[in-house]
Structure 1
Amino acid sequence: MMERLSFLNLLACCGILLTRASVESFTINNYQADHNSLRFFVIGDWGGLPQFPYRTFIETAVAGRLAKFADSLQIHFLLALGDNFYYDGVKNLHDPRFKETYEDVFTDPGLNLPWYLIAGNHDHNGNVSAQIAYTDKVKRWNFPDFYYNLTFAIPGSDARVDVVMLDTVQLCGNVDDFVDVRQPAGPPHVGSAEKQWAWLEKQLASSRAEYLLVAGHYPVYSIAKHGPTDCLVKRLQPMLYKYKVNAYLCGHDHNIQHLEYSQRNWTVNYFISGSANFV
C-alpha cells in the first residue's frame, strides 16, 4: 500500500490546501497562492429554497466569499457534498431550480471552475438522475454517477490526490430532517449498497496516491444535531484506517467542524462543511 503523507491545512473552514510536503499554519488573509499546491473548496448543504427567491441570504453570501477567494487563491475546483436543492431535489432535467438556485447565484467568473457533486438526503427526495444528466448540459457541473473516483496531480510535484465520492444515502438510507429521526434506517436497496461498498474498498485498496480522501454527505463523526452516522461508523470508519485515508469530507450538519481521531497508528481528519445555506 502507498505510504500516505500528512497534509492538512484548512482554508477559511471551507477550503483545503494540499502540498507535496507538510506546511506551516497560516492566516488566510496573508496567504499568497503559489504554483506548488492543489487548492479546492468544499461546500455542503447549499441548495437554496423551493420558493421565491429560491436562495437564502447565507447561500448568496457564501457565493460571494467563494468568488473572492477563488480569485485570490487560484482555486482549482470545488466539491459540493449534497443537499444541492432543498427540500426535495429537482423534478427533471428542465427543473428551473438549476437556474434559480445554482446558475443565478454562483455567477462570478471566478467560480467558473469544475464543480464535482454528490447527492444528499434532500436530493434523494427528488430525481438524482436528473442532476447527473445536468453534467451534459453545463460544463462546470460534474456529476457523472451516484458515486465515482477523482484523481488530481499536485502542481510542481509528482504527487497525486485521489478523492472517492460516495452516495451515503444509497449506502445507509434516507432521513427526514423534519421529524426526530436522526439515523438512516438502512439502504433502500441492499444489493446496490453492497455493490457500492465493494467498489469503495476496491478503490481504497488500489489507490497509489500520496493523499487519499473520501467524501460523502452524511458524517462519520459529528458533535452536532445529527451526531455520528451509525452505518458509516460500522462500515466506513474501519476502511479509513485500514487503507490510511487522510480525511473524510461531508456535510449534512449545518455547521463547520474539524475532528481528528487516531486509530491503528493513523489519524483521520473528519471535516464537516454544511453551512452554505443555513446556519
Structure 2
Amino acid sequence: MAKLNEIIECAVVIIGVVCLTQGKAGQAKNSIHFLTLGDFGGMPYYPYATPIEMAVAKQMSKVADKNPIDFVLTLGDNFYFDGVKSVDDPRFTETYSRVFYQRSLAVDWYMVAGNHDYKGNISAQIAYTKVSKTWKYPDYYYKMAFTIPGSDMTLEIIMIDTIILCGNTDDEIDLAPSGPVSLTAAKQHWAWLAKQIEQSTADYVIVAGHYPVLSVGIHGPTKILLDNLQPLLHANNVTAYFSGHDHNLQHLQSSEKASVVDYFVSGAADTIDPFLKHKADVPKGALKYFWGKVISLGGFGRVEVYKENMTFTFMDSFGKTLYQHAMLPRHRRK
C-alpha cells in the first residue's frame, strides 16, 4: 500500500513541480504562498473522506492552479478517529493521497500531530516521510525557514507538538488537556521552543500546533498554552500562532506590553462546529472573526508573505473569500 501511494504521488509531483518556479501568469515570484488547514482527517470507514474534506481539497487545488503554492501547512488531526497503525496503513492513501491528488497540490505538506493522531502510532506518521514525496514530518517538532523571493527577508515557521506540551484529550467527553504524559519530554520541548523563538531574527515568525492558545469554540483556550506559550509569543514579538482543534475558522488578537499577536484557528477541513461555547473565556475584543457555517462544505486558510506584509485569508470550499487580515514584518510592528 505504501508503494502504491508513492507511485501516485510521484506522478503528480512530476507533472506539477514546474508550476512552483513562476508566479501567476508566468511572472517572477515575489512572495511565499501557502495554504493551511487542520482537522482534515476523514473517517475510519468507507469512503474514508467526508464530503467536506473532498470539497476543501478541490477548492485548494483551484486556488493553487491560479497562483502556485510553495507548500501546505497542516495543523493536526490528520486521521480520524484513532490515527494510523503503521507506515503501511491504507489510511495514508485513502484519506490523504487519494483526496489531495491534484497536481497543483503536489508540494511539500508539513505535518504536525493532533490529539486523534496520538490515539494511533505517531512514529509511523513521522516514518511515512521516507515513503511519501509530499508528506513532510521530520520529527515531533521542528522548524522551517524560507526566504521571500527577490529579497533578503525571511519567514520562520515553528511546528510544535501540543500533545507533548499539554497532554491528550478525549473529544467525546470534551475534556481539556490536564498536563503532559511525560514531564521530561514536555520540559525538553519547552526549552527547545523558547530557544527557537528567542533566537529568531526572521522578519515573520509563525508558531503552529494543534491546540489553540485562544479559541471561542467548543474546546476553548488551552490553559497550559495560555500560561506558558502566550507570554513567550508576546515577549518576542511573534507574528502569529496557527492552530486547529476547534472545527471552525477564527481570528483572535491579543495585546500585551505593546506587542500584538494574531491567532488563527483553521479546523474546518472535515466537519463544521458552529458553537461559540467559550466566547466569554477570551479577552473582550479579542475575537475578530468567527465562521462555522454547518450547511457549508468547509474552509481553509491562504497565506501570502511579501516584503511589505503577510496576509492571511480564510476561504470556503466554494471559492469565496470570507475574511482577510494583514500583518506587518516584526521590525515594523513595534
After TM superposition, is the score higher than 0.5? yes
Deviation, 1:34, is: 6.4
* Equivalent position SS for 1:258: strand
Deviation, 1:33, is: 8.1
| AA aligned opposite 1:153 | T
* Equivalent position SS for 1:187: coil
Counterpart among 83, 86, 105 of residue 77 in structure 2: 83
Query: For the Cα contact (< 8 Å) 1:250–1:271, is it kept in 2?
Result: yes
The C-alpha deviation readout for 1:130-174, integer Å capped at 9, x for no partner, is: 000000001111000000000011111110001100000010000
Query: For the Cα contact (< 8 Å) 1:33–1:73, is it kept in 2?
Result: no
Q: Is 1:208 aligned to residue 201 of structure 2?
A: yes
Q: Is 1:164 aligned to residue 139 of structure 2?
A: no
| Aligned match of 2:119 | 125
Aligned residues: 249
In structure 2, runs of 5+ residues without a counterpart are 1-25, 273-334
Q: Could you say what the CA RMSD is over the residues aligned between the two structures, in angstroms? A: 1.5
| Aligned match of 1:103 | 97
| AA aligned opposite 2:201 | R
In structure 1, runs of 5+ residues without a counterpart are 1-31
Deviation, 1:261, is: 1.1
TM score, norm. by length of structure 1: 0.87
- Counterpart CA distance in 2 for 1:38 and 1:180 is 37
Query: For the Cα contact (< 8 Å) 2:30–2:148, is it kept in 1?
Result: yes
* Runs of 4+ residues deviating >4 angstroms: none
Query: For the Cα contact (< 8 Å) 1:33–1:72, is it kept in 2?
Result: no
| Aligned match of 1:197 | 190
- Counterpart CA distance in 2 for 1:180 and 1:237 is 23
- Counterpart CA distance in 2 for 1:162 and 1:36 is 17
| Aligned match of 2:54 | 60
Query: For the Cα contact (< 8 Å) 1:114–1:141, is it kept in 2?
Result: yes
User: Percent sequence identity over matched residues?
Assistant: 52
| Aligned match of 1:256 | 249
The C-alpha deviation readout for 1:42-82, integer Å capped at 9, x for no partner, is: 10000000011100000000000000001112111110110
- Counterpart CA distance in 2 for 1:34 and 1:115 is 23
| AA aligned opposite 2:61 | A
* Equivalent position SS for 2:164: helix
- Counterpart CA distance in 2 for 1:91 and 1:77 is 26
Bigger radius of gyration? 2
Which stretch shifts more, 165-174 or 71-80?
71-80
* Equivalent position SS for 2:63: helix
| Aligned match of 1:187 | 180
- Counterpart CA distance in 1 for 2:93 and 2:199 is 38
Query: For the Cα contact (< 8 Å) 1:33–1:74, is it kept in 2?
Result: no
- Counterpart CA distance in 2 for 1:180 and 1:118 is 21
Alignment of 1:4-83 (within 5 A): 35-83=29-77
Query: For the Cα contact (< 8 Å) 2:235–2:259, is it kept in 1?
Result: no
The C-alpha deviation readout for 1:214-234, integer Å capped at 9, x for no partner, is: 000000000111110001000
- Counterpart CA distance in 1 for 2:251 and 2:152 is 28
| AA aligned opposite 1:99 | T
